[in-house]
Amino acid sequence: MNSLDIEYLRRQIELIIESVQDKIKNINKSIDLTDEQLQSLEKSETLFNGVISSNNEEIEAINNKKDKIGEENKSTRKEIIKCAYNHLIDEHKNNIESVIKLRAQWKTLNDEIRKKREQQKVSKKEKVASTIKTVINYFFAEKYTLDEENFRLIFDKNTLEKDQAKNILSEGEKNIVAFAYFIGDTHLKVENEDDYQKIFFVIDDPISSMDFSHVYTLCGVIRDISKIIDKLKRERFLILTHNNDFMRVLASNNIIDKKLLLKKGELIDFNNNLTVPYINHLMDIYEICRKNGIPTHTTANSIRHIIETLTKFEKIDVTGESIAEYIKENIKDDTKSYTLINDLSHGGWRTEQAPITDEDYIEICETIVKHIEIKYIGQVEYCKKICK
């Protein structure tokens, strides 16, 4: 706002007032005002009125701003922010340019990654299909294969339509196909190459309704899993089963490292001999004839099992009188041993006479052990080592 020289104006007015008062006291006395005084007074008045007018305009402007203080405040903040923004731009111009370049590079890389992921999806589909076909081929050779485009089974060179497979495949074959899909699905569980080394298979009783020949094949698939999925450097799996024969094949072929049995709510080490009862039966009769063991109600069953196993091993086709023929051919009949062994191996029982004595059992057991000792000495040596 403009200021006024009030003191100078006040002195001029006071001089006029004094002249007027003198005039009042002496009416004959004249008031002596020069043209210069009048002009100065007039000039001061004009200047004074101009300053008042100018100040009034400024006051009005201030009042208007006061009434719009919120908008003024916002406008002021915007100006401050704009100034600060421009200051930061000036100060960090090089950094901002670097960020812009990095963003452009990131967008380019991100687009490339997205394209590679799409390509990887296609590649995974091919890997899944190839693995499924490989596993199916283990079981069926060319009987069944896979349409890689539609992921449908091909039977006798004809692609099966929807719901046809369930009418054509047996229950065991369905389980085989499901197992093949399970192995093929491995490729969908990984995001990068390193993930293959984290794969851990959990296989829960996969042999339901399978022919036993297929059980052998399935064990072969498990054994060859690192060949079927060539990116695996180490096979790791947990196999659960209720099937004793399946467990026997896995254990006897060293497909599994650790063998455990769930018994009464506890996991205990699994005895391989339980899967090959022949050797247990042989140890039982070895104990009786060589270690003064006492025959029991299971001794006859042990004799029967041993003779049947030996017969199957040598004759393969166990039909008709092959068991009796094996006994007659391999165990001398110059004593009662032949008759007793033949009788016991067929589960015979004579209610009209007393059961055979312990000495009879010992004699029979000794005859069988001697026979095995001649033909398969290693089996008897094993019993000797175990039955110390």
Q: Taking residues 330-345, what's their average pLDDT?
A: 61
Q: Note the pLDDT of residue 144.
A: 84
Q: Note the pLDDT of residue 348.
A: 52
pLDDT in tens, 37-64: 777 778 877 888 888 888 888 888 888 8
**Of the ranges 27-31, 79-83, 114-118, 307-311, the best mean pLDDT one:** 79-83
pLDDT in tens, 274-290: 556 788 889 999 999 99
pLDDT at 122 over 60: no
| Torsion from C-alpha of 312, 316, 320, 324, nearest 10 degrees | -40
C-alpha angle 143-207-154 in degrees, rounded to nearest 5:
20
Pairing of strands 152-155, 158-159: antiparallel
Q: Note the pLDDT of residue 354.
A: 47
Alpha carbons 201 and 238: distance in angstroms, whole number: 6
Q: Note the pLDDT of residue 353.
A: 46
Q: Note the pLDDT of residue 337.
A: 59
Contact 341, 364 (CB under 8 A): yes
List, as own/partner pairs, every contact residues 48-57 make where C-beta atoms lie below 8 angstroms and the sequence separation is at least 24, other chains included: 48/4, 48/9, 51/2, 51/3, 51/4, 54/1, 54/2, 55/1, 55/2
Contact 249, 349 (CB under 8 A): no
pLDDT band at 204 (very low <50, low <70, confident <90, very high): very high
pLDDT band at 27 (very low <50, low <70, confident <90, very high): confident
DSSP 70-131: HHHHHHHHHHHHHHHHHHHHHHTHHHHHHHHHHHHHHHHHHHHHHHHHHHHHHHHHHHHHHH
Q: Note the pLDDT of residue 334.
A: 44
Contact 281, 368 (CB under 8 A): no
pLDDT at 224 over 70: yes
In one-letter notation, the amino acid at residue 195 is D
pLDDT at 352 over 60: no
Provide the residue ranges of all domains of the chain, joining segments of one domain with +: 6-82, 109-189+206-231, 276-386
Q: Taking residues 3-26, what's their average pLDDT?
A: 77
Nearest CA to 133 out of 148, 112, 150, 155 is that of 148
Alpha carbons 170 and 139: distance in angstroms, whole number: 13
Q: Note the pLDDT of residue 1.
A: 57
Q: Taking residues 203-225, what's their average pLDDT?
A: 89
pLDDT at 162 over 90: no
List all residues 6 or more positions away from 144 whose beta carbon is below 8 Å from its beta carbon: 136, 153, 154, 155, 173, 177
Q: Note the pLDDT of residue 147.
A: 83
pLDDT in tens, 238-281: 999 888 778 888 887 888 888 888 877 888 887 765 556 788 88
Q: Note the pLDDT of residue 8.
A: 74
pLDDT at 72 over 60: yes
**Residue 282: burial class (beta carbons within 10 Å; 0-12, 13-18, 19+):** buried
Q: Note the pLDDT of residue 238.
A: 94
User: Which residues of the chain form beta strands (DSSP E)?
Assistant: 144-147, 152-155, 158-159, 201-204, 237-240, 260-263, 266-269
Q: Which two tokens stand for residue 246?
A: 């399946």
What angle, 0 to 180 degrees and rounded to 10, lies between the N-to-C axes of helices 358-375 and 337-345? 90
**Residue 320: burial class (beta carbons within 10 Å; 0-12, 13-18, 19+):** exposed
Alpha carbons 160 and 157: distance in angstroms, whole number: 9
3-state secondary structure of 367: helix
pLDDT at 333 over 70: no
